[in-house]
Amino acid sequence: MIHLRLVAVGLMILAAVVSKEAQAQFYKGKTITVIVNYPAGGPTDVEARIVALHLPNHIPGNPTMVVKNAGGAGGLIGSNQLGEAAPNGETIGFFTLAVNDQLLGNSAMKTRYSDFTLIAGVESPLVVYMRKDTPPGLDNPADLMKASGFKALSLNAQNSNTLNMALALDLLGIPYQAVPAYRGLKDVETAILQNIGQMANSSLSGWAGSVEPTMGHVVMPMWQLSPRKSGRYPRTKALPNLQTFEEFYAAARPGKPLAGVTEYEALRAVADPQLAMFRTAVLPPHAAGEAVAVLRSAFTEMWRSPAFLADYAKVIKTEPVLVTGEEGQEVLAALGKVPQSVKDFLISYTGRITTK
């Protein structure tokens, strides 16, 4: 009996060794193309390049990794390209998740996000910011309630960032002009700096790594839209001094609860899954099982690397919060639970944004 157990243990060890060797051979000498669904220089691209720099060190076989930007259509050009790529593990996507395209049934979306194979994700809040010189002048975020007629710049009307910002402003009852006309967030930042528009929003990495360092003297943060935690929306640890949208609203509209308000239900239907997994690393549908296992393991190992965490933290000003592939798949599955009435409202609402 002891002899048989020793044989069994030996076989398990041998299988593990063979598996490691097989994994090393799977990517040895190969090049992995990382499709980024936003233009070069933006926050998605910056984070993708940090991942591309460190991830090969954690993949057996140490493959070459090349970043390919495919921006446009609110991220759909890049995601559609990945959907058409061979599922052999040699093409992955590093995307900003746009759950609204699936919620709204966007006809330009060739592959649903829930059909991709999740490798990993990164949790992140959004930061809404505004020029301080917006009439009548902003000394603090509460002064937003005195402003009117300003321009809120964003990507296309179906983009999740656009919807989150527009719905928040409508809930607050502030007159503004929506300008959902930009290809990437770097273009939005340039337009804000040139005073073509006065308000915009960005991910934590976009705020901390680009907006605040280059325009902090011109703009101020208004609120953060934070991920859901245990049924609440607390301030993220990276922005402990910046109020949440819920806190801003409570101060601006006392006695008017958000619970049960259609616009707020719609805002959170879009924001909750997006912020829970703002950046996603994905493979094409039906990806090779070996590639999935290798890359999920590589991301988990990379998240324990002090060198990677230090580089990533320089951009987002906090240690990144990893969402595993298994957890991420559950987040996307939750999209199917959004009530049809909320989906219908969002479809109607996107058509009205450009008429504001």
Burial class (CB in 10 A: 0-12, 13-18, 19+), 256: exposed
Burial class (CB in 10 A: 0-12, 13-18, 19+), 121: buried
Is the pLDDT at 86 greater than 60? The verdict is: yes
Listed by start position, the domains of the chain span: 2-123+274-338, 126-272+341-353
Its pTM stands at: 0.79
Radius of gyration of the chain (CA): 22
Task: Report which of residues 159 and 195 the model is more confident about.
Answer: 195
Sheet holding 219-225, edge to edge: 176-180, 150-154, 199-203, 126-131, 219-225
Do 166 and 353 touch, CB atoms closer than 8 A? yes
Write out pLDDT tens, residues 20-59: 555 668 999 999 999 999 999 888 999 999 999 999 999 9
Fold classified for 2-123+274-338 = D-Maltodextrin-Binding Protein; domain 2 (3.40.190)
H or E element in which residue 285 lies: none
**What are 224's strand-pairing partners?**
127, 244
Q: Is 11 helix (H, G, I), strand (E, B) or coil?
A: helix
Query: How far apart are the C-alpha atoms of 171 and 252, rounded to whole Å?
Result: 10
pLDDT at res. 322: 87
Select the CATH number that applies to the domain covering 126-272+341-353 from these four: 3.20.20.150, 3.30.365.10, 3.40.190.10, 3.30.565.10.
Answer: 3.40.190.10
Query: How far apart are the C-alpha atoms of 94 and 170, rounded to whole Å?
Result: 32
Query: How far apart are the C-alpha atoms of 151 and 176, rounded to whole Å?
Result: 6
Looking at the chain, the whole-number percentage of residues with pLDDT higher than 90 is: 63
Write out pLDDT tens, residues 223-236: 999 988 888 999 99
126-272+341-353 and 2-123+274-338 share a CATH fold: yes
- Whole-number average pLDDT of the chain: 89
Structure tokens at 75: 């991220």
